[in-house]
Structure formats: C-alpha cells, structure tokens
Amino acid sequence: MEQELIPTEAMTSFSKSFSATPHAVRQARQLVGDRLAQWGVPAGCPAARTVALLVGELAANAVRHGSAPGRGFTLAVAMAALAPGGAAGPREGAAAVPLRIEVTDSRADRYPVLRPFGGEQENGRGLLLVDAFAAAWGVASAPQGKTVWCECLLHPAEMAPRM
C-alpha cells in the first residue's frame, strides 16, 4: 500500500554552485529531480516536471544573461518536508506543499524583465514560462549579484507516481 505524503512543519533544502555552461543547466535539472525523489516527490510526476521546467528556465537565464566571465551560478531549493501519511494516494483536501527555487548569479546590473511574447522570436520565452507555472517570482539583490526566485505549490494530486 502506498503512503500519502503530508507536509510537516519542517523545511528541507539544498544549494549547489554550477559553472555558467549549458551543460550545468542540465545538471541542475537532474540534481533537483533526484533531490525531489529523495524528498518523496516521484520522478516524472507532474509536480516534478513543473519544478524541473522552472529550474531549467532560471538556470538557463543565469547562464545566458546573468554570469560574468569566469563566474557561475548557485541554485537553492527549499520545500516543506513531507511525512508519510496513512492512506493510499493523495488525500482530497490535503494541503499543497510550498517549494521555493532561487538562482543567484553574478550580474547585479542585469535584472530579468518579463516581455510580451512575439510569435517570430526564437528566444525570450523563459520568464513567460516561469510566470505561467510559478505562483510567484521576483528578483532580489544578492551580496555579489542578484537572486531570481520563484515559488510554487505542489498539490498532492500532482505528486502521484506515473502509471
């Protein structure tokens, strides 16, 4: 019998620094997927895919627009800890689990701007996706750069394992 996941009061988190390369974006997505699985969010479930998308977009923006030469970015993720429940499957009315993603880069002089999408553009959709899938997002000054953050709510029904 599968156990339901219920958020506890505790938060679980991690952070890791990456080089400013396209390969690092892939590594960041994989690391977050692995960590979510360790925290009880099944790989490939809708919630894990949404978080991977958000991490990928924020990390790609840091690599493309936010890194000074020779400087990388730092990814930090925090989520309300999950505790095993008693019932199988997601419980109706169970609370959503808050998750925060932060990507800190070295360019304090370049803040991201949400721009309207032009149909002919090949780039520039990342923040539109973040805006669409995150409950909130923003930018904060960091000691040596800036932090672009987003928050999302992982609903129990979206954390069901893939069938």
Task: Write down the pLDDT at residue 147.
Answer: 95
159, burial (CB in 10 Å: exposed 0-12, middle 13-18, buried 19+): buried
Range ranked top by mean pLDDT from 25-39, 64-78, 104-118: 25-39
C-alpha gyration radius of the chain:
16
- Give 157's DSSP letter: G
Task: Note the pLDDT tens digit of each residue in 91-147.
Answer: 455 688 899 999 999 988 888 877 776 666 666 678 899 999 999 999 999 888 999
Partnered with residue 105 across adjacent β-strands are: 146
CATH superfamily of 5-159: Histidine kinase-like ATPase, C-terminal domain (3.30.565.10)
Domain residue extents for the chain: 5-159
CA-based end-to-end distance of the chain: 15
69 has pLDDT over 90: no
Q: In this model, does residue 89 exceed pLDDT 70?
A: no
CA distance 75 to 84: 27
Residue 142 in 3-state DSSP?
A: strand
